[in-house]
Amino acid sequence: MKIESVDFFYLSMPEVLDIGDGSQDALLVRISAGGYEGWGECEASPLTSIASYVCPMSHSACKPLHDALKNAQIGAVSDIERISRFVHEQSFDLLQADHTLSGIDIALWDLLGKMRNEPVYRLLGYPKSFPKIPYASQLFGESPEETFEKARKTTDAGYKAVKFGWGPFGKTSRAHDLAQLKAAREGLGHDLRLMIDAGTVWKENSNDARERLDALKEVNAYWLEEPFTNGALEAYHSLANSKPFIPLAAGEGCNNFIQAQAMMKHGGLKFIQIDAGRIGGISAAKKVADLTQQMGIAYVNHTFTSDLALSASIQPYAGIEKDQICEYPVELKPLAKEISKTKIVPDNDGLIQVPDKPGLGIDVNTMALRKYLVDVEIRVKGNLIYSTPEL
């Protein structure tokens, strides 16, 4: 079937704060064909990604993503592969391309699932999906006291695993970091899994990270996430081989398969965390999931935004029974919560699953989103090449 329309919607909270909360704005993609609609979400700067979709061609390897969808068909997995391949072959000098492709690819999988009346994980080759253990993903409090309170609240809510990250962690003294870690552990009690996300704070400096390993061991951290810049293979490798041993997790910053592959082969990771909204979509994420199974590394989704993004990020490993840990954002802004009527929530055993419905199984709530829609116009040589479409 011919793809009839591809629309980008930039949504934003009225005020965007200078904090590590990626749910303050969103870029949704809607693709229509044959009476069906697929939805995707880019975990990306909305305006920049829109520009990469509509920009004029610079040369044969720097084409707008629009060119990949011109006269394109959708009806089979090979159609999605063809669009991805076009972008990787003909837009590879357009740096933003993979972030934009991510939302397009997700929307195409959703669309194809609806056309075929199958959940995406089945189109990916998994006979069934397995429940995941959600870890409550949130920011450190500004003080240890605040972190303790957050930890208590999440424990009371029934979570079996909790992650704290960003905020002041790693930015002041070792003593302050230890106080934050202890507050988190005390708030959780001894049995819950505690993940720590350093948010790339030590850049490429493995010594700074190494100084925190004892403290992480003391609170029995399940993993240390993103101590360094994405792709800093030497620093990751060095820390992975330091004592005491703390398993490393990273990968959310990977914006294509080969970056994730390099992190897995040379970074000493035990967990690879992939955001389908950044890595080029569900297609690229599934390639990473396949590689994890060869390498004995655990796959984990990265998600800090909507239920739509959550479903898209779980599908690539929904059928892998042994990889149970799943990031589950618990501090979403209203915009991200309102993106869909469908909610992915823990069941009575505290586990979550992707919806067993066609596509991603998420009903986007267009009515609720109108109030967040950001009006954008881009003109080149006097021609209006983008204006916010109707939601």
Binding interface with a copy of itself (CB under 8 A): 12, 16-22, 24-25, 43-48, 50-52, 54-62, 64, 88-89, 92-96, 98-99, 166, 199-200, 203-204, 229-234, 253, 255-256, 258-259, 261-262, 265-266, 374-382
Q: Which amino acid is located at 190 in the chain?
A: H
Q: Which is nearer to a copy of itself, 50 or 239 (CB)?
A: 50
CB of 117 to a copy of itself, least distance (A): 34
Cβ atoms < 10 Å from Cβ of 244: 9
Closest CA to 122 of 364, 308, 361, 300: 361
Q: Which is nearer to a copy of itself, 154 or 255 (CB)?
A: 255
CB of 262 to a copy of itself, least distance (A): 5
86/90 Cα distance (integer angstroms): 6
CB of 341 to a copy of itself, least distance (A): 25
CB of 198 to a copy of itself, least distance (A): 13
| Structure tokens that stand for 206 in this block | 């493995």
- 69 phi/psi in degrees, rounded to 5: -110, -5
DSSP 203: T
CB of 351 to a copy of itself, least distance (A): 29
With b for 16 or more beta-carbon neighbours within 10 A and e for fewer, the 119-141 pattern comes to: bbbbbbebeebbbbbbbbbbbbb
Q: Which is nearer to a copy of itself, 46 or 358 (CB)?
A: 46
In contact, 196 and 221? CB cutoff 8 Å:
yes
DSSP string, 206-223: HHHHHTTHHHHHHTT-SE
CB of 214 to a copy of itself, least distance (A): 26
CB of 282 to a copy of itself, least distance (A): 18
Continuous segment of H or E residues that includes residue 156? helix 144-156
Q: Which is nearer to a copy of itself, 99 or 150 (CB)?
A: 99
Q: Which is nearer to a copy of itself, 7 or 186 (CB)?
A: 7
- Any residues with CB less than 8 A from the CB of 277 and at least 6 apart, and which? 40, 41, 42, 43, 44, 99, 102, 103, 106, 305, 309, 312, 313
Cβ atoms < 10 Å from Cβ of 153: 15
| Structure tokens that stand for 83 in this block | 């669009």
Q: Which amino acid is located at 130 in the chain?
A: F
Q: Which is nearer to a copy of itself, 137 or 353 (CB)?
A: 137
CB of 79 to a copy of itself, least distance (A): 20
CB of 389 to a copy of itself, least distance (A): 15
Closest CA to 196 of 268, 247, 233, 154: 247
In contact, 63 and 90? CB cutoff 8 Å:
yes
Helix (H, G, I), strand (E, B), or coil: what is residue 164?
Answer: strand
DSSP 165: E
